[in-house]
Structure 1
Amino acid sequence: MAFLEVNYYSKVLGMDRVMNVILPELSDHNPTWTTETLKDIPVLYLLHGMSGDHAIWQRRTSIERLVRQTPVAIVMPSTDLAWYTNTTYGLNYFDALARELPEKVASLFPQISTKREKNFVAGLSMGGYGAFKLALGTNQFSYAASLSGALVGNPRQEDFLKMEKLSYWQGIFGDFDSFAGSKNDILALAKTCDKRPKLYAWIGEQDFLKPINDVAISTLQQLNYDITYETAPGTHEWYYWNKQIERVLEWLPINYVQEERLS
């Protein structure tokens, strides 16, 4: 596997951006891989939470080791603190990540597949919201996974004010009264989605976001989405996300090879 830090320019945002990429390559570590193996490679876009950036998955988890024997590319971008959203202050992070970024990846890495059935997205906390939002708001991704996701439909203002002040949230989403049914409401997006992705969600039983996950998953089930919902003892922290990202890899259609199975 090659690990690359890619600096590129985003026309949508009007600024330089950075993404980390884990890319399969021919090497002695994978003697069965051929040039054919590494054509049309599936890709997982891995999204960070509120306190993270493009490097946080690499720093806090075993993601590079986990995919060492699996021909899948991992793309780790940053949305800063913008919630994968076209913000009210004029920076269109949703467009930059949902539409521009896959085009940028295709131009820089032609061996990575552009096929919907080979494009996946996953994230934690804010990134879990982003993963479902990107998958339900576009036709780009066939699988989407949320770990401890902020799967908000109609957010309660008082809950959000526990995390940040009102002016911050208004800068991202606008007024809370207009959130439900908007393009930022993942449950509203689920009702109008053209090509339904398969969905996966995990959350710890002691996580403060579990109640909104229960509501969101119930709604998605009522809408007849193909969704796997799993819970286990746990809180909102990296110890659990490091464990659960392997579960996501097992769930994705990528022929995941666990390292411990190798001789």
Structure 2
Amino acid sequence: MAINHISFFSDQLQMMTSMNVILPDHPNGQGDVLLLLHGLGDDEHAWIAQTNLVDYAKKTQTTIIMPRAERSYYTNAMNGKKYGDFVGEEVLQRCQKWFHLPDDRARTFIAGNSMGGFGALKFGLGYSETFSKLFVLSAMPDIKASWQANPDRDAWFQSLFGSPDQVTNSTNDIGYLIAQQQNNAPEIWQFCGREDPFFAMNDRLAQQIEIKRLRHTFVTVPGGHEWRLWDQAIDRILKMIATHERHNVIL
């Protein structure tokens, strides 16, 4: 695999930023694209450093794009940093031009862990014309519930979202995005450890998705909020993408 670390000026962020892109050694023109998002406190290097992603990717024709999103919760913050537009639009558009990637919904996927799982839901559902399937790993899917449970985050969340009322029925309200989905909604593959502190949130999320009757698989495994599980999951995800599986899987 070719691992590319790219520093560039973002039009949306109006500053220098960076991303990692893994490319197949011998692309055959039939490969897929995975936008892979990091969690809170991590960066564009996390998936490469913490998992066997590179080894798994060698067996596929998938291009993997990992942008840097800081502690943004993948939103257009009140403080002016437009990480929502940066990750949701600019990153994929630039990579399509730089690396001649397909602009093909059937071959474009998104995944993320923890905060990145929230981002995968937000962009996968908010840009349903772009992504055919989203992979949601141990997500923190409920901003308002997290805000209420962590009052020490009030100033930080205000800088990102404004107020809890401003989250309601917005692009940061995952329940609202689920409710807006139509027949062309992307498929959702959800994964969470049963001892994960976000498991209850993920269980509620799964119920919301099922009520809407979206195509959905919820895989639960023993374990917590940990890279050991996400390493297993990303291996399976790349295999699913390679074969475009649409079946329940057991890890």
Same fold (TM over 0.5): yes
Q: Which runs of 5+ in 1 are unaligned?
A: 27-36, 257-263
Which TM-score applies when normalising by structure 1? 0.88
- The whole-number CA distance in structure 2 between the counterparts of 1:11 and 1:83 is 19
Q: Is structure 2 residue 65 aligned with structure 1 residue 75?
A: yes
**1:1-12 paired onto structure 2 within 5 Å:** 1-12=1-12
Q: Do structure 1's residue 229 and structure 2's residue 228 form an aligned pair?
A: no
Q: Shift of residue 222 of structure 1?
A: 0.5
Deviations 1:29-60 (A, max 9, x none): xxxxxxxx522521111100001100110000
Matches of 2:156 and 2:144 in 1, distance apart?
17
How far 1:88 moved relative to its partner? 1.0
Letter in 2 for 1:9: F
The one-letter code of the counterpart of 1:18 is S
Q: CA deviation at 1:251?
A: 2.8
Unaligned runs of 5+ in 2: 245-251
Choose from 19, 26, 31 the match for 1:41: 31
Output the amino acid matched with 2:29.
K
Rounded to whole Å, the distance in 2 between the matches of 1:69 and 1:242 is 15
How many angstroms apart in 1 are the aligned matches of 2:104 and 2:15?
28
Larger Rg: 1
> Which 4+ stretches in 1 moved above 6 angstroms?
none
Measured after TM superposition, the shift of residue 203 of structure 1 is 0.7
Deviations 1:115-174 (A, max 9, x none): 11111000000000000110111121111011110111642533233xx52100111111
Give the deviation of 1:193 after TM superposition. Answer: 3.3
Contact 2:147 2:157 in 1 (8 A): no
**Residue 196 (str. 1) matches residue 185 (str. 2):** yes
**Map of 1:138-149 to 2, 5 A cutoff?**
138=127, 139-149=129-139
Count of matched residue pairs: 242
What residue identity is the alignment partner of 2:40?
M
Instruction: Name the structure where helix makes up a greater proportion of residues.
Output: 2
Which residue does 1:170 correspond to in 2? 158
* CA RMSD, Structure 1 to Structure 2 (Å): 1.6
Identity of aligned residues (%): 31
> CA 1:153–1:181 in structure 2 vs 1: closer, same or farther (change >3 Å)?
farther
Amino acid paired to 1:12:
Q
Aligned equivalents of 1:240, 1:202: Cα separation in 2 = 9
TM-score by length of 2: 0.92
